[in-house]
Amino acid sequence: MSKNNIQTMNNTEIETVDNTIVKDTCKKISKARGQIKKLYLLDGVGAMMIAGASWVALLAARGYSTVEIGFIESIFHVASMIFEVPSGALADVFGRKKIMVASSVMAIISSLIMVLSDSFFTIALAMITSAFSYNLASGTREALAYDSLKDAGIENEYDKFASNDMMIYEVTSSAATLLAGVALMLGYKKAYIIDALVGLLAVIVASSLMEIKTEIHKETSIRKRFKEVVASSIEFIRENRRARLIIVFNALIGAVDILILFFLQAKLPEMGLGTILLGPALFGMGLGAAVGAKAIEFFPDVRYRNICIFSFVGVVIAFSSMFIHNVIAMIIGGFIGAFADDFLEVRTDVVLNNMIPSNQRATLMSINSFTFSVVMIILSPIFGWLFS
């Protein structure tokens, strides 16, 4: 065989290897983007729960006072505080797909308990179960998305995911609140049965997700996995002051905005807004969050500190509108607060994920939600008293 033939063969082999690498890379990218689409669908389906979106209005219609509703909200967040970090560790140890499926199952159970509820105690039990559902998905969803993209080498697309996912969630949850009047007319039992059926659809979507393995899964001992995840997460939080400040500030902004929107469900009808108009009003305010989540994409170079200042001002305006005693002003304030909250939330999600190592991603993102729950526990009764 001549030297030229050998050279030709080598070039052919190199070209074959290159083509194989390109095909494998394209296949990975395609799978990652397919995973992202499924997560979009899962969040959209999960948010379309009409009873869950208008639970405050449903409880108010059953005769519960705003103070009682505030305590029920606190119970939710006490449970959330207890479950949050352990649920993130479960996702890191056992796999994110399994935990996303479990989250949807718990949402179904919560809805069914609410159907059977006949006292403050059973309502509290349903809220605790709902909190567990929320905790299982919180942090897990973001970790699964980021690591799916990272595995395909396109983690730079996470910013777009964070924005789109938040927008989809806000639009669909707002669409659910648009049906608040329908939920009230159906009654809480029928409304929560519908939620349970929606939860079943979410289980089917979650079951189709693809699991992403991280370095921690190479350890066969479950006990050692937990130990490594917890120890590494504690060390990260202890040594990273910037991450701590980001988590606390984001929790404060988010908690104030969420409580404003929750109590507007009960206050707007008291101010004379008709039942049939409650849904559209809540939908309009929810769109503020969707717009805020998308708008942040157009400000990629704005400093995080400036984003924080803008969001703080927006939430202060929303809070102030609650004391004007004018329906239109309250709705506008709710829109502004929702916009400011999600404007900050999406950028915070991106900033934290870029700081966090893959092995502890779900756990550390859960610490973000844990902090939010602590703030909500403190503020919920206070808001209940303020707006009673």
Domain borders along the chain are: 39-386
Q: Please report the pLDDT score of residue 6 as a whole number.
A: 47
Q: Which residue has the higher pLDDT, 94 or 34?
A: 34
Identity of the highest mean pLDDT range in 58-72, 189-203, 291-305, 352-366 = 189-203
Percent of the chain with pLDDT over 70: 85
pLDDT of 340 strictly over 90: yes
What average pLDDT score do residues 36-47 get?
Answer: 89
Residue among 352, 353, 341 nearest 311 (CA): 341
Q: Please give the residue that has the higher pLDDT: either 228 or 253.
A: 253
pLDDT tens column, 98-146: 889 999 999 999 999 999 988 899 999 999 999 889 888 877 888 888 8
Q: Which pair of structure tokens corresponds to residue 56?
A: 């405050």
Ranked by mean pLDDT, the top range of 21-35, 45-59, 158-172, 185-199 is: 185-199
> Beta-carbon neighbour count of residue 274 at 10 Å?
10
Q: How far is CA 144 from CA 39, 57, 277, in A?
A: 9, 34, 38
Highest mean pLDDT among 49-53, 55-59, 159-163, 312-316: 312-316
Q: What's the chain's average pLDDT?
A: 81
Question: What pLDDT was estimated at residue 370?
Answer: 75
The token pair at 127 is 């809220």
CA 330/CA 322 separation, integer angstroms: 6
| Residue 326 vs residue 277, higher pLDDT | 326
Burial 237-262 (b: 16+ CB within 10 A, else e): beeeeebeebbebbbbbbbbbbbbbb
Please identify which residue in the block is written with the tokens 């900050």.
344
Indicate if the alpha-carbon torsion angle 178, 179, 181, 184 is positive or negative. Answer: negative
Residue type, 168: I
Q: What is the percentage of the chain residues whose pLDDT exceeds 90? A: 21
The CATH class of the 39-386 domain is mainly alpha
Does 202 score more than 80 pLDDT? yes
Mean pLDDT of 302-330: 90
DSSP letter for 184, please: H
Closest CA to 91 of 41, 146, 42: 146
pTM (predicted TM-score): 0.69
Residue with the bigger pLDDT between 182 and 356: it is 182
| CA neighbours closer than 13 Å in the CB half-sphere of residue 338 | 29
Say how far apart CA 148 and CA 161 lie, in whole Å. 11
